[in-house]
Amino acid sequence: MNVLITGGYGFIGSFFTKYFSEKGYNVYVLEKTISNKLIGFKHKTIVADITNLKSLKQKLDIKIDICIHTAAAADYFIENYSKISLDINSYGTRNLLEVLKNKNIKKFIYFSTIHIYGNKYKNITEETKPNPLNDYALTHLFAEYYVKQYSQLFNLPYIILRMTNSYACPLSSNSTKWYLVLNDLAKVAFENNKIVLNSNGTPKRDFIWIYDVCKVLEILTNKDNIKNETFNLGTGKLYSILNLAEKVKKVFFETYNKQLTITINKEDKKNHIASLVSVDKVKKHTGIEFTENIEQEILNLFKLLKKSN
């Protein structure tokens, strides 16, 4: 089976490239550049910019069975992000759909985000009304509508995955995603022997192990009867930032036999809203049982940081 993974060298996409390559699929990675090429995983690289429709048409002249679309502008802090995110996340997705609409693909799997719901809900299901509060969320919601539009107009089967927060040690020390919560906590601990939180530690989020995401993907890829569906993808379990910091402290002591101090921001008096994400639908359709592997990934992060220093 030919699997096209857009953004296949990125933080999330690289794990999909690794996973599907090791499973024996014919993997094609679509990237704008090849400056961060993965070594050791059998795949073919297609260099094309999803914002350039002409280039996409020329480069994607291949047989594609499954498209896993992860390419996105996620670095919301960069200058002119509102336009960049619209060009890549929304119009880029439309361009990809335009090229694939007549290729008779079995499934288009789009990685959206749980952020499309905003933060006003305490319990979130797939039926919860979207309320995007930033450009990252809004442009992903636009892309979802494009996916559904092309399904209706061209009978293009799809799966939309609204993912929470994935975690895993990056496959490369050259990763730019050290600002992600768990990565950041481990890096700060490794470099400073202490953790200083910007918040009071109470914000809670749902974290899913990236290899569980890979398992869900493979199940959805191979089940022909699951199509034209939207799933929340998380674990249905909440961890506070302080709880994660405590896990980092535990692994730090076990690894280096040194105590780690954690300082919270006592000036932060906010009562942070915790949104519990229902994952009943994805569990029902896939039979997946989620794994907590946070402490092992913290250890892996420490090993990677030590190796790269």
Q: 244 near 203, Cβ under 8 Å? A: no
- Cα distance between residue 235 and residue 294, in whole Å: 13
Predicted confidence band of residue 36 (pLDDT cuts 50, 70, 90): low
> Of the candidates 283, 107, 305, 293, which has an alpha carbon nearest to the alpha carbon of residue 211?
293
- Cα distance between residue 180 and residue 233, in whole Å: 18
- Cα distance between residue 12 and residue 215, in whole Å: 13
pLDDT above 70: residue 263: yes
pLDDT above 80: residue 40: no
User: Per-residue pLDDT averaged across 291-298, rounded?
Assistant: 96
- Name all domains of the chain by residue range, CATH numbers in brackets: 2-166+207-233 (3.40.50.720), 168-206+237-274+291-308 (3.90.25.10)
Residue type, 286: T
pLDDT above 80: residue 50: yes
What are the tens digits of pLDDT across the range 101-142? 999 999 999 999 999 999 888 899 999 999 999 999 999 999
Predicted confidence band of residue 230 (pLDDT cuts 50, 70, 90): very high
User: Per-residue pLDDT averaged across 281-290, rounded?
Assistant: 95
pLDDT above 70: residue 47: yes
Predicted confidence band of residue 38 (pLDDT cuts 50, 70, 90): low
16 Cα distance to chain centroid: 10
Predicted confidence band of residue 64 (pLDDT cuts 50, 70, 90): very high
- Residue 284 burial (CB count, 10 A): 10
Evaluate the CA torsion angle 172, 174, 179, 183 in order and state its sign. positive
pLDDT above 70: residue 259: yes
pLDDT above 80: residue 151: yes
pLDDT above 70: residue 168: yes
- Cα distance between residue 15 and residue 215, in whole Å: 11
pLDDT above 80: residue 273: no
pLDDT above 70: residue 39: no
Tell which wins on pLDDT, 155 or 265.
155
pLDDT on residue 35? 63
User: From residue 205, how far is each of 9, 181, 244, 267, 294 by CA, in Å?
Assistant: 25, 10, 10, 21, 13
Helices and strands of the chain, counted as H and E runs: 10, 14
What are the tens digits of pLDDT across the range 186-223? 999 999 999 999 889 888 999 999 999 999 999 999 99
Tell which wins on pLDDT, 272 or 281.
281
Residue with tokens 């674990």: 235
Predicted confidence band of residue 257 (pLDDT cuts 50, 70, 90): very high
pLDDT on residue 51? 95
pLDDT on residue 173? 73
pLDDT above 80: residue 75: no
Residue type, 292: E
- Cα distance between residue 180 and residue 35, in whole Å: 21
